[in-house]
Chains A and B, each alone.
Chain A
Amino acid sequence: MKQGNSLTLKFMSGAGFVFLYAPIIAMIVYSFNDSKLVTVWGGWSLKWYAELFRNEQIMSAAWVSLKIAFISATLASVLGTLAGFVLSRMRKFVGKAMLTGWVTAPLVMPEVITGLSLLLLFVSLENMFGWPAGRGVMTIVIAHTTFCLAYVAVVVQSRLASLDETLEEAAMDLGAKPTSLFFLITLPLIAPAIISGWLLSFTLSLDDLVIASFVSGPGNSTLPMVIFSKVRLGVTPEVNALATLMIVAVSIAVIAAIVILHRQSRYNDVNK
């Protein structure tokens, strides 16, 4: 494989990338379209971006989405780190495999089912205890935290598994009690995993349409929900501009997550 990439290989990877990214590129290009008609090219312009920032409905939905993404990513990072810790550090016990399965199940659970079951839970909780009163930002945050938690747990668990345990022994040997061991050694070493877990959660929450549709209340539409409802009335160049901005935001987050995870491998090699 080393000696130069053959023409076929180049062609195949090129075709793959075109297949994956041509639609997105088309959308990005059309977001700069001057024409009001989506399918007719009318020259370059930034006017739909200006239009976008004047649209209050979209702006408030964007704010709701960012708020939800931030809070649920943070909650998911805390809970997911704890879960990842338990999964990698607990000695073998009966049901450990089952627990692992349970934590990671939301990764493969159809979103419709997650959304529906959460909706049922919230409604019956409200009937029984009066909480949560109605549905809105709070319920979306809870819903997003549940499924993002699984991602963080998986990332943190794999980081902990690859962490050299003698580092923790060395810290204990040098006089670190379990609490200072955790905050001075373990946490800094798994921080890249937690940060990339946070970034992943942030993008997942920002992207989510299905679950949010189930558990949101009136007046609390997230950005994907607004886009979706707008598109049903026909695609406008404004939506293209919005989608372009979202792609930029998500790409930055994902690239940052990858870069952070890669940097830690340099650290990993030190004691091997």
Chain B
Amino acid sequence: MSAFPNPSAVQTKSVPTWRQQDAKPFVQIEQITKQFGQFTAVNSVSLDIYRNELFCLLGGSGSGKSTLLRMLAGFEEPTSGRILIDGVDMTGIPPWERPVNMMFQSYALFPHLSVEANVAFGLKREGIKSPEVNRRVSEILDMVQLGHLAKRKPHMLSGGQRQRVALARALVKRPKLLLLDEPLGALDKKLREETQFELMRLQDELGITFVVVTHDQEEAMTLATRIGVMNNGEIVQTAEPHEVYEYPKSRFVAEFIGNVNLFDGVVVEDERDSVSIQSPDLDALLQVDHGISCAPNQEVSVAIRPEKIYISREPVDIEVNGAMGIISDVAYMGSQSVFKVRLASGKELRITQPNVSREMGSRLTWEDNVYLSWDPDSCVVLMS
């Protein structure tokens, strides 16, 4: 809502802030470590988040994402390292003095207060006069389409309505930073999708920086401007959603986000614009044509996404980037079909194909002999 007070953070429409070389980060996480006794929950994490971002921390349970969020909110003090929000060092600042609000996974609505009073709670703590409080409360409740339920108590609301009250309560204080802990976790699938777009709309309208913690990669992909993938207390990759998916940095990221076929192999040829890799699982050579620096005989993994493999009954050239196999399993999923194809080496590949045609007759089925092929730029070489 506020104008940008920092003139150096000038936004240009075409280039997102995080891609600009000299952009000033809004949230700076510097070498944060959190230990609980012997256990290291967050291990030396450094991360910059920019103004107006919707940043997703994505990881499995125990990856340290929630601990990191709680340190941003001020519920946990880091063992070492520091956090700066809008240039201010947050070390030692208690939660009630931070320009940060959080939406809890359980929503944490105050059960003894009405919807209205829940939302007004934060404003009243700031000492804002009640006409102003009432105005802002009804404004935000209208924004989340709950104006008509203002007098209800939380136990009289549905799950989706509670979620929106929690969101309104966190947004009404116009925090510099909004933290969301698994915001859609408790909603059913259809409601999740609606709420995802709702969240993006609100974020766009209010111009508040969001940090979302989630274990759901689909949620992260849809919502985020950038994703930080966490594993074992560390951030293993920070990138835009399509980059995390198309260019994962490690086996962990490739496997955690979406489905992937992985080949372990050895570099046999390293040329200027392509690398050839021999895998024991594959008769053909794997050829990758984008810049990787690796040495001959180096052991690497090659990742190919299921939708990037062509599948057909007609023979195709499979000397490079191809294979022959038998369909061992088919799953029809409406918009697409998933095939499992067993190669001569025994390796099973996963292939998805959009169901372009409605005809059943021409469709591939169990025990069909098929030819597989893929483009050199569809493969990703993973060193770790």
Return the chain B residue nearest A266 by Cβ: B155
A172 to B74, CA, bound (A): 10
- Residues 158 to 216 of chain B near chain A (Cβ within 8 Å): 162, 169-170, 173
Residues of B within 8 A of A177 (CB): 96, 125
Contact of A164 among B73, B100, B106 (CB under 8 A): B106
A172-B96, A176-B96 given. 20 additional CB < 8 A pairs?
A: A166-B106, A166-B108, A169-B95, A169-B108, A170-B104, A172-B94, A172-B95, A173-B74, A173-B75, A173-B95, A173-B100, A173-B101, A174-B101, A174-B125, A175-B173, A184-B121, A267-B155, A270-B162, A271-B109, A271-B111
26 contacts between A and B (CB under 8 A): A164-B106, A169-B95, A170-B104, A170-B108, A170-B110, A171-B110, A171-B121, A173-B73, A173-B75, A173-B100, A173-B102, A173-B170, A174-B122, A175-B96, A175-B97, A175-B125, A180-B125, A184-B121, A185-B110, A188-B112, A269-B155, A270-B111, A270-B155, A271-B106, A271-B111, A271-B154
Give residues in A with beta carbon < 8 Å to B. 164, 166-167, 169-177, 180, 184-185, 188-189, 266-272
Verify if B107 is at the interface (C-beta below 8 Å from A).
yes
Verify if B317 is at the interface (C-beta below 8 Å from A).
no
Contact of A170 among B100, B102, B173 (CB under 8 A): B102
Verify if B314 is at the interface (C-beta below 8 Å from A).
no
Return the chain B residue nearest A271 by Cβ: B106
B253-266 interface code vs A (CB 8 A; 1 in, 0 out): 00000000000000
How big is the B interface, by class? 20 to 34
CB distance from A163 to the nearest CB of B (A): 10
What are the 8 tightest A-B residue pairs by CB atom distance, in nearest-first order?
A174-B122, A175-B125, A170-B108, A267-B111, A166-B108, A172-B95, A271-B106, A270-B111
Return the chain B residue nearest A166 by Cβ: B108
A167 to B100, CA, bound (A): 16
The answer to whether B108 touches A271, judged by C-beta atoms less than 8 angstroms apart, is yes
A242 to B67, CA, bound (A): 62
Residues of A within 8 A of B95 (CB): 169, 172-173
Residues of A within 8 A of B126 (CB): 175
Give residues in B with beta carbon < 8 Å to A. 73-75, 94-97, 100-102, 104, 106-112, 121-122, 125-126, 154-155, 162, 169-170, 173
A270 to B186, CA, bound (A): 13
The answer to whether A189 touches B108, judged by C-beta atoms less than 8 angstroms apart, is no
A164 to B125, CA, bound (A): 21
Residues of A within 8 A of B173 (CB): 174-175
A208 to B32, CA, bound (A): 59
Return the chain B residue nearest A177 by Cβ: B96
Residues of A within 8 A of B122 (CB): 174-175
Residues of A within 8 A of B110 (CB): 167, 170-171, 185
Residues of B within 8 A of A272 (CB): 106
Residues of B within 8 A of A189 (CB): 111-112
A174 to B96, CA, bound (A): 6
Return the chain A residue nearest B156 by Cβ: A270
Return the chain A residue nearest B121 by Cβ: A174
CB distance from A157 to the nearest CB of B (A): 20
A170 to B106, CA, bound (A): 10
CB distance from B200 to the nearest CB of A (A): 23
Residues of A within 8 A of B75 (CB): 169, 172-173
Contact of B104 among A169, A176, A185, A268 (CB under 8 A): A169
A271 to B103, CA, bound (A): 12
Return the chain A residue nearest B125 by Cβ: A175
Contact of A268 among B74, B111, B125, B169 (CB under 8 A): B111
A180 to B95, CA, bound (A): 14
